[in-house]
Amino acid sequence: MDERVSKVLVVGAGPVGAVCALALQQQGIAARVLEAQPEDARADTRTLALSHGSRLILERLGVWAQLDDVTPITRIHISQRGALGVARLSADEVNVPALGYVLPYAALTVALKQTLADAHIAVDYGMAVERIESGTDAATLQVADGRSYAAPLVVVADGGRGKSDPVPKFERDYDQMAVVCEVQTELPHANQAYERFTPEGPAALLPKGDRYALVWTARREDAERIAKLADTEFLAALYRHFGGRQGLFLQAGPRKTFPLKLAYTGSEAADRVVRIGNAAQTLHPVAGQGFNIGLRDAWELASLSGDTAPEALGSAAMLAAYARGRRLDVLGGVGFTDFLVRVFSNDIVPLRHARGLGLLALEVFPPLKAFVARRMIFGARG
């Protein structure tokens, strides 16, 4: 057996795992990253919506300056189809340069990969972890090729794709899929995003370059049908669904679909092992909380590791402290997104009127608006 001992092992070289390794190094803690995909794996084509809080994390790690394909969101328009109630959020109202930023997933991964290389952080590609075994002093990773790695602390940041993942503590199947693509609108976006609630599910338009990134949520069978429509039919259906606030929809790129669910595993898995990002919680994309919570997971874990005595790194006491510190932010995000999906994805008349009153309250009470905006930007500590 080839057992390699490191201080911290990070499973997954995606954005959350990479941010964790970089943040650990800033705390003076060396990490080794194991990634199941080969180094030349096909680039992910998804679009990311980062909060301003996530930008601050990336700035502290020296990553943000390497990103040049970023579109700021300075305003968000929130409404529900077929009923009264509109709320508008503005970056100026909460004294930030932007509420969020839209960029290609691939652009962020390229910048993080370069930053990892510049920092001389070891990343082993093609290392699929088959099993994680917890011990008193260390956790051991068994890799598919027979090799073994051990460390006092193992951070699982593989997006919940690992073979050794525990059963989630809580799951909800929304029976929804997201249809995603880029669309061109008749009117310029002027850095304004839209969140439009409909009985079938929310639809979001996120400014990206000179276009919009569309996230159209629908019931599973409807989403599959919508994604297969010819361009002209798709654009007409989108206009009927979303409305004409941005004029006509002129062009649409290739469509992809993703199933949507809630899965909460939690950060506590076993002694010496902690889960972060989608490996700990998978959220519905409404309000764009999941990815940003994952980056905060990585940052907070690294900060706590830096404040922990070397001999206590990965101990039960440390991991319990991490779980306590993250509980409010994570469960707040889980509850908020689940609430939005279940309360807004229906056409029940009393709820429709209640939603309208809620949006009206958000629009007319500046303290409430600032409270909601700052928690979307910075999490529970906003």
**HEC states along 149-175?**
EEECEEEECCCCCCCCCCCCCEEEEEE
Give 281-326 pLDDT, tens digit per residue: 999 998 889 999 999 999 999 999 999 999 999 999 999 999 999 9
Structure token digits, residue 244: 């004409």
3-44+106-169+261-344 carries CATH number 3.50.30.10: no
Question: What is the pTM (predicted TM-score) of this model?
Answer: 0.94
Tell me what pLDDT residue 43 has. 76
Cα→Cα distances 34→8, 13, 62, 375, Å:
11, 7, 22, 32
Cα→Cα distances 104→37, 44, 258, Å:
19, 9, 17
pLDDT grade, residue 76 (50/70/90)? very high
Q: Rounded to the nearest 10 degrees, how much is the dihedral formed by the CA atoms of 375, 17, 322, 379?
A: 0
Give the long-range contacts of residues 228-232, CB within 8 A, separation 24 or more. 228/255
| Spatial distance between the Cα atoms of 122 and 308, rounded to a whole number of angstroms | 23
Do 207 and 103 contact (CB within 8 A), yes or no? no
Tell me what pLDDT residue 152 has. 96
**Domain regions of the chain by residue span:** 3-44+106-169+261-344, 175-259
| Spatial distance between the Cα atoms of 372 and 382, rounded to a whole number of angstroms | 9
Structure token digits, residue 340: 């939005």
| Spatial distance between the Cα atoms of 242 and 125, rounded to a whole number of angstroms | 42
| Spatial distance between the Cα atoms of 35 and 18, rounded to a whole number of angstroms | 10
3-state secondary structure of 309: coil
| Spatial distance between the Cα atoms of 220 and 132, rounded to a whole number of angstroms | 34
pLDDT grade, residue 5 (50/70/90)? low
3-state secondary structure of 265: coil
Looking at per-residue pLDDT, the higher value among 366 and 208 belongs to 208
User: Is the pLDDT at 2 greater than 50, yes or no?
Assistant: no
Tell me what pLDDT residue 133 has. 92
Amino acid at 84: L
Beta bridge partners of 178: 217, 258
Helix axes 366-378, 52-60, angle to 10 degrees: 40
Beta bridge partners of 270: 273
Give the chain's count of helices (H) and strands (E).
9, 22
Q: With CA atoms as reference, report the closest residue to 297 among 98, 105, 10, 65.
A: 10
Tell me what pLDDT residue 266 has. 86
Average pLDDT value for the chain: 92
Who contacts 58 (Cβ-Cβ below 8 Å, separation ≥6)? 19, 50, 64, 67, 295
Tell me what pLDDT residue 382 has. 64
Beta bridge partners of 260: 176
| Cα angle for residues 321, 326, 332 (degrees, 5° grid) | 145
Chain position carrying tokens 């972060």: 276
Architecture of domain 175-259: 2-Layer Sandwich (3.30)
Chain position carrying tokens 């039919």: 233
| Spatial distance between the Cα atoms of 235 and 232, rounded to a whole number of angstroms | 5
| Cα angle for residues 258, 171, 336 (degrees, 5° grid) | 80
Structure token digits, residue 378: 């910075």
